[in-house]
Chain A
Amino acid sequence: MIRNYFKIAFRLFKKEKRTTLTNIMGMALGITCSILIYLWVQDELQYNDFVKNGDSVCYVMTNHPITGGDIKTWATTPQPLKAVLEEKYPVVDKVALLSWEPPTNFKIENGFLQQNGNYASPEIFDIFQFPFVRGGHEELYNKTKTIVVSERFASYYFGENWNAKNIIGEFITTDNEDSYEVVGVFKNLPVHSTLQFDFIIPFAEKLNKNPWLNHWGNFQNQMYVQLVDGISVEEANNRIKNAIIDNRPDEATTEELFLQPFSETYLYSNFEGGKVAGGRIEYVRILSVAAILILLLASINFMNLSTARAAKRSKETGVRKTLGALKANLRVQFLIESVLITGFGFIMAMGIVSVLLPEFNALTGKDIGLAFFTPKFIMMLVAFIVLLGLASGIYPAFYLSALKPTRSLTGGGVHNKNEAFFRKALMVFQFIITMVMIIGATSVYKQVSYIQNKNIGFDRENLVEVSMGDINPTGNYQAYRKELLEKPGILGVTPINQNILDIGNSTSDPEWDEKDFNEITSFTIMCTDPDFLSTTGIRLKEGRNFNRAMAIDTANFIINTAAQKVMQMKDPIGKRLGFWDREGKIIGVIENVHINSLHVPIEPFIIRYDLPMTSKLLVRVEANKTTQAIASLKALHDKFNPGKTFNYNFISDMYKGQYKSELLIKDMVFYFTIIAILISCLGLLSLVTYTTNQRAKEISIRKVLGASITTILRLLSKEFLVLIILSMVIAVPIAYYFIWGWLQNFAYRITLSWVLFVISGAVTIAIAIFIIGMQVLKAANANPIKSLKTE
C-alpha cells in the first residue's frame, strides 16, 4: 500500500514536473534560510555558555544617574569595592577585578609581539575555571611580577615547540621594560566567550603602578563575581545594590550596582534607565521570526498549490473511496506526498547550505563549519522536515479526503467558495509577509546608509589615530609636530586624550555662574590643543579658537551647542566656566558634533586646551596619499619611540565598527528578503500558471468569440491584482509598526515617509504583474483549437 502511494507520488511529480519543481525549490529556499538562521542563532546563543556555574557568575555593572533623571550604565567599578564585597556581602563568593587594557607589546627576538591581556585578580581563574596546561594561577596571588599566558601566546613567544621547553620560571618583557615571571600556561579561552585574553598579570601590579586606582571615585575596572551557591541573581542584586553608596567613606555618591549574569552579557548589552534593554538578542529574535516566516511562505506555497490541484486529484480521491479507502488512508497518502516534497527540498537545501556556508560565514563574521552536521543535528533536521511536511500537507490532506465521492467523481464541488476563499486568504497572507519584509529591508537599508553617510559634524575620512608612545606632549611633541607637518601627505595633527568617536569620560564637575546645583549635568571632555578644530574639520559657530601664543588659553574652553543649551546661556562667549582646578572663560562655540554613536543623542561637550592630559594623536592625511602618509607616520614614530610598535587606526573604520550589528543585519535582512520574494514569486507563478491552465478552455472560447488579448489579460489578472493590493493595504501598517519600533534604537534616524511604502508596494506589484502577465499572455496567445480539442 505504502509502496503504491510512493509510486503514485513519483508519477505525479513526473507528470507535473514544473509544479513539483517550483514546490521543491520553494521548500528548498525556505529550508536553506532557516538552516542558516538556525546555525547563526545557535552560534549567538552559544556565547558564554561554557561557564560551569551558569548564572552564578555575574558581570558587575554600575548605574550613574545624570541630568534629567537619566541613568548611564557602565561596566566599571572602583577598586575598593572588591574588598567590601568580599568582606561585607556574604552572598558574594569570589570577586575578580579586570582592567580595561589596550593591546600590550612584548619584546621578542627581533621585534615585538602584540597581545591582548589584562591585569586581573587571580580569582578570575577560580571563577571561570579556565584550565591550565602548565603551572597554575596560585603564584599570581603571591608575587606581583608574574604572568600567566595562553597556549597561543606561549607558542608565539617561545615558538611552536614551547611545550618541549620548561617555560615556567622564564621571564617575559614588555616594551616598557617590565619583566614578568611565567607561572602558568592556560588553555586558549573558548571562542564563544565575551571574555578574551591571552595573558593575565596580577591586578596588584596595576595598583603598584597606579596607586590612584585605590580611590573610590575611580570607576576604571571591570569586575566579575561568583555568587554563593543557591543565591539567585535577583536576590544578590537586592543585597549588593547599594554597596558603593553604603560603603564609600569619603563622600556621598549615587552609583548603584547591579549584576548581569555572565551568560547574558553577550546578547543583552544595551542598557536604558539602568536596566537591561536588549542588544544582539533583538537581532536573534528578528532573524528567528524571519526564519519562521520564510518557512511559512514556503509551506503556504505548497498548501496553495495542492488545494488548487484538488480538482485534478479529486477524481482519484472519489474512486479510491468507492474502492473502500478510508479518509485516513487518503490522508496518509497526501501527507506522504508533502513529506516527500519537503524531503526533496531538504536534500536540495543541504546542497545549497554547504555551498553557501563559506559566503555566509564571510557575511556574518562567523566560523560555522559543516561540523555542525552531527548525527544528532541531522536527526533533528529530519524530524523537523517530517514535521514541516506534515504541517504543509495537513490542510490539503484533510481538504481532499473530505470531498464527497460523487462531487469529486463528477469533478464538481471542488470550486467550493470556502476553499477559494481560503486559498485567497493564504495568498494574501503570503504577500503581507513578503511586503512587510520588503518594506523592512528597505527601511533598514535606508537607516544604515543614513548612519554611514550622515554628516557627523567632522570629516571622518582620511583621519588616522596613532598612539603617542614616548612623545611628551609638553616636551618634544612640538618638534615631532614640526617635523611631521613637513612630510608629504600630512595635513594636520593634534594631540587628544581619547578616541574621538568614543569619548567615554564624562563629568558633572563644570561650574558656571547660573548653575543650578540641584541638577546633575554631565559633560564629555576632550583635552587637546589649538590644532583640534583644523585637524578634525569641526567648525566654530561663534567666538574664537585657542591661541598657542596666549598662555591663558589653557584655562579657557570651547563648548558645543548642546553644552550651551544645558548651561542655558544666551550669549556664552566670555562667560565664566571652571572645573578640574582650572578657572576660565568660554571662548568659542562649535556646532553639535556626533562624537558618540548615533544610537544616543548628542551630549554636552567641552574642549580644553590641556596638553599634559593627551595620550594619542589624531592626524589628517591627504586623500590618495594615505600609504605615503602612513609611511611618514611610521618613520617619525620609530624616530621618536625607538623600539616601540607602531599602531594606527583609521577613524572611518572605527566608525563602521560601531555599527557592526547594523551592517550585519542590513546584509542579512537584504538577502533573506530576496529569498522571501523569490519564494512568494514561485508560489504566485505556479498558482497563476495553474489557474490559467484551468481556464484555458474558457480563454480559447473567448478568443474564438473575438475577445482581444488585452481583455483576456485584464480578466485574468484582475483577481490577483486585487488580492495583492489588499495585501499591501494590510502590510503597510504592520511594517510601519515594526520599523518604527526598530528605529527607536537610534537617536538619529530616518523619517518614515510614505514614499518608501509606495515604492516597496509598487515594486511588489510590478513583479506580480510581470509574473501574471507572462503566464496569461502565454495562455492567451495559445492556439485556441489545441485546448478545445483536449477537453
Chain B
Amino acid sequence: MSDPMRPRVRNAGGTAFRGERGMPAETRPPGDGLVSGQDADALLGRTARGDERAFEALYDVVAAPVHGLARRVVRDPAMAEEVTQEVMIEVWRSAARYDPERGGAMAWIMTIAHRRAVDRVRREQAAGEREARAVHHGTGAAHDPVGERVEARLEHERVRRCLRTLTHLQRESVTLAYYGGHSYREVAELVGAPPNTVRTRMRDGIIRLRDCLGVER
C-alpha cells in the first residue's frame, strides 16, 4: 500500500528494452510519453477539424494510457472499458475546445480520463456497488500485458523513481488520490492526518514530482 504502483509492475524487461535502444538507463529515451504527446497534439488538431483518420491514429496513441488509468482507478475491467469508451468519445466531441495554450493534448486527454474515472468511482461508491463489483471481478489481474508498450514501461520506471523522492505522506496523498480515486478528505481519513495537511502535501508532492520528471514550465 505504500507504493500503489508496485502491484502492477509486470516484469523486469526494462533493462533489455533500454539495451535494444542503446540508451543509458538514466537518459530520457525517444518514444516515451513526451514524443507520443507531440503526436497527440498534431492528431488532436486534425481531429478538431473532423478528420476521422486522425482520430483513429489518436486513439492508437492515447487509448492505452487512458485505459490503464481507468483500470487503475475504477478497478473493474468492464467499467474501465466503459470509461475508456466515454473518454475517447468525449475527446472526439470536444476536440475543438482544446486550447493548446493551456497545456499539451496528452495532458488534456489524461485530465478528462482521470475526471471521468473518478466521477465513475464516486457514483458507484454512492450506489454502494464498487466494492462488490471489484470483488466479483477480482482486482489487480493484468489482462493484456502483451499490449503494454515499451514507452509505458520506461515511463513507469521514471515515475516510480520520482515517487520515491517524495516524503511518505506526500506520496500517499498523491497516489491514493490519483490511482485510488480518493478525495483529500478520504485520504486524510485513510492516513490519519488532518485534511488541510493532506491537501498541502498533495500540492508539495506534485511540485516535487513535477521537478523530478522535468515537466516543462
A and B are partners in one complex rather than unrelated chains: no
The interface of chain B, by Cβ under 8 A from chain A, is none
The interface of chain A, by Cβ under 8 A from chain B, is none
